[in-house]
Homo-oligomer: A and B are copies of this chain.
């Protein structure tokens, strides 16, 4: 078996992330968290682990950090809840799992993987998904685990209004709150995972692109693994993650050109803001976005990097 190059990329959301509105301490905290997530995921790949394990480990670390809008750092919904979405996909058999509007789970991405591996389904929602989690032995956290004063204040500012807020929208010092990871392992397999706490003050059980296979997450060993972050509605309408894959498979574009076409042409044409990370089976990595910034990191045997701004 041919040894493949290994590669990992992660993101912690995109949006109006300006150096001018960032303190040195805050910047350092983000960089540090991204670095650890990257190292933990990459370690899995270096030890010969699967791309699936690597993206799960990296996303779990980001879910555990209060800095990112996913897992512990999830924002407050209109009813003061933390409703989380996540999805995961592997590129060999195109297996996938997703959960939406789940509460109380520290790591929704783990539940998404369990759906993929231990259920007959791809997507489970709400109380039903939580019942599946209980039957699978997942532990549930109390609301206090998810309480964060900054997130609470974000909610208070919008509470009772019809306004909602993507974590870092263009109007505020907020980002599109999503975390994600894509990986290539030493056997040549690709995987992608995405997780989010949704939008501050979101109503009506809104579901964004993060738990939707093809929109927020996609992986296929013949093309690439992709994880998105941005204004979810536009990513759904653009079927963004799968669009990158199709441009490679059907039109013969390189990973870089496919991502550029989707992020800067097709997505912007319908008004979508955000970005994505992607890796192909040659270990090429792309981290592209049409916003001011995107929390991101990447690592291959040839090098690594952590970046926030354009």
Please pick, from B121, B203, B206, B207, the residue contacting A233 in the complex, using a CB distance under 8 A: B121
Q: A interface, by DSSP: helix, strand, loop or mixed?
A: mixed
Chain B contacts for A94, CB-based, 8 A: 237-238, 270
Taken together as a complex, chains A and B put the C-alpha atoms of A132 and B202 apart, in Å, by: 12
The verdict on A129 contacting chain B, using a C-beta distance below 8 Å, is yes
Chain B contacts for A127, CB-based, 8 A: 205
Chain B contacts for A124, CB-based, 8 A: 204-207
Q: List 22 A-B contacts (CB under 8 A).
A: A94-B237, A96-B236, A96-B237, A101-B125, A120-B164, A120-B233, A121-B233, A122-B232, A123-B208, A123-B212, A124-B207, A125-B205, A125-B206, A126-B205, A131-B203, A132-B204, A212-B213, A213-B236, A214-B215, A218-B239, A242-B242, A243-B246
Chain B contacts for A212, CB-based, 8 A: 123, 212-214
Closest chain B residue, CB of each to CB of A238:
B94
**A91-128: contact bitstring with B at CB < 8 Å (1 yes, 0 no)?**
00111100011000000000000000001111111111
Closest chain B residue, CB of each to CB of A99:
B205
**A157-183: contact bitstring with B at CB < 8 Å (1 yes, 0 no)?**
000000010000000000000000000
A170 to chain B, nearest CB (A): 14
CB pair A239 B251 closer than 8 Å:
no
Please pick, from B126, B131, B233, the residue contacting A125 in the complex, using a CB distance under 8 A: B126
CB pair B101 A206 closer than 8 Å:
no
Please pick, from B95, B128, B243, B247, the residue contacting A204 in the complex, using a CB distance under 8 A: B128
Chain B contacts for A128, CB-based, 8 A: 101, 203-206
| CB within 8 Å of B: which A272-307 residues | none
Chain B contacts for A246, CB-based, 8 A: 242-243, 246, 250
Chain B contacts for A126, CB-based, 8 A: 101, 125-126, 205
| CB within 8 Å of B: which A221-263 residues | 232-233, 236-239, 242-243, 246-247, 250-251
Please pick, from B129, B232, B239, the residue contacting A239 in the complex, using a CB distance under 8 A: B239
Taken together as a complex, chains A and B put the C-alpha atoms of A131 and B247 apart, in Å, by: 39
CB pair A125 B100 closer than 8 Å:
yes
